[in-house]
Structure 1
Amino acid sequence: MFQTLAYWGSIIAFGGVTCIFSLIYIFQGKLMYFPDRKQWISPDRYGFETGEGNFKEIFLTTEDAVRIQVWFFKQINSKSVPTLLFCHSNAGNLSHRLPNIRDLFHNLGINILIVSYRGYGKSQGSPSESGIKLDMDACMKWLLNEPSIDPEKIICFGRSLGGAVAIDTVYRYPKNIKGLILENTFTSIPDMVDIVLPEFKYFKRLCINNWDSHTRIKSITCPILFLSAKKDEVVPQSHMTCLEKQASNASTKNMIVFESGRHMDLTSQHNYYKYFKDFVYQNVFPPNSQNS
């Protein structure tokens, strides 16, 4: 009798553990990506104009046939200025970045392309690491073939999750992207599990969304700017410090630490846009460079 109970007990326990493992594997994307398809802010509220103006909405088709939404903000002298590929963080949609887009557009005088990852905004599909990489491929293909910009003046910016997306994109397009700007991003998702969901630390091997920036950044050779919040309550500041150390092959790198900054408020910190602008026009495209 006891042997029978032990047998069935082990079967039930094994089944329970298997179920937990399966749920973590299948639903981990919902623990990481928080897309918003409903709450929209119109670009015209921030002074952008459609049609022949300085803004247009574009839909691209990825290699796996997913239709994704991107917004392109174009300067009058679009061909002679840099173009910023903007990789947003893990919540909301691209419209929630409009205040930041407006300030970058006017303070730096650059073109901006921001992508709505699959599953976000008006983009089809559901988000995943492999899928978002295909979204970025579609964006790069568009940028490299768009006649209104200079394909030799592309830089990439990513905040939080977008930092991991940006690192991976620069890693895969080293000849096409001339500069990288990272804001409050992490070393990898498994490293973040220890902080955000420590109860799942023993299941880290099940991660299919690894975003291994810690490894990828070692191969990046273009200039890198690190914008880091000392009081980041989401991603420990030590992650940015680690990434800066790992970026040993970058032609130049600069770490700016905002002493009173938090995870999502760096745009309001003193000299935020000045650091951004100085990096773009002094480190990436200095006045006497061939790219200017």
Structure 2
Amino acid sequence: MTRIVVKWGGSLQENSGAIADDIASLWREHDIIVVHGGSRDIDDTVRELGLLRRTLRSPDGMVTRYTDAPTLTALMMAMRGRTQPRIIAELAARGVEAVGLSGMDGGLIRTERKTAVRAVFGDSVRVVRDNFAGRVVGVDTRVLEALHTCGMVPVVCPPGMTADGQATNVDADRMACAIAAAWRADRLLLFTDTPGVLADRDDPASTIASLSRDDARKLVPELSGGMRMKVAAAVEALGGGAQAVQVCDGRVHAPVAAALRGSGTLIGKGRDTL
């Protein structure tokens, strides 16, 4: 079977039914893994708990969530208590047998905590030591393979876990790319709220149809925000074993089907479709 990883973005709640419809039409003919974030739900949970939403900007311009211990707890509450049940319910309503997992389950996502992170504060760079962010250092796909053997769709979210059992926040795009690489996926679909990677960020019609891995790597410093993280993660996925990564619009009708027909930006191969 063709192996497809679908990154279901937290910003695409309004079109979640369309994504679920497509997965329902494909899951019996393809092996599918869903990886999701939950930025809106995390922000809501952080606010309800009376915490501050904070970010860190690295010296090279990457922006990530500042995940101190209370924020990590809020993140886990939001992912497993809000976002994931909603996705599971959407899929179940369409007859898809899905199982929710975090990166901690079954040793799925092994991480190393970034114990000291350099971040920009105004005109200075400081070292942050209370951030529970992690880098992915290993993926154990056995639990994913077991679920596919049972005819079920894994639905996976952060956090990951260190060797000594510490939960760490991992960017969901990077998690999806790490899973796609370890699983040697035929296609990783990174859904977002733009038509793809744009040559001009202010012109939705400037979608770049395809990029080689080398071209994508060179483009990363010119990108900003979430797109920069997606393309950087795509480069990593291709280097690790994924066959192709596609950055595509999750807001359109039948977004998965449209992506598999070649919409968005395909990184790593030509304009071949599955």
Calculate the TM-score normalised by the size of structure 1. 0.30
Tell me which structure has the larger Cα radius of gyration. Answer: 1
Calculate the TM-score normalised by the size of structure 2. 0.31
Choose between structure 1 and 2: higher helix proportion. Answer: 1
Choose between structure 1 and 2: higher strand proportion. Answer: 2
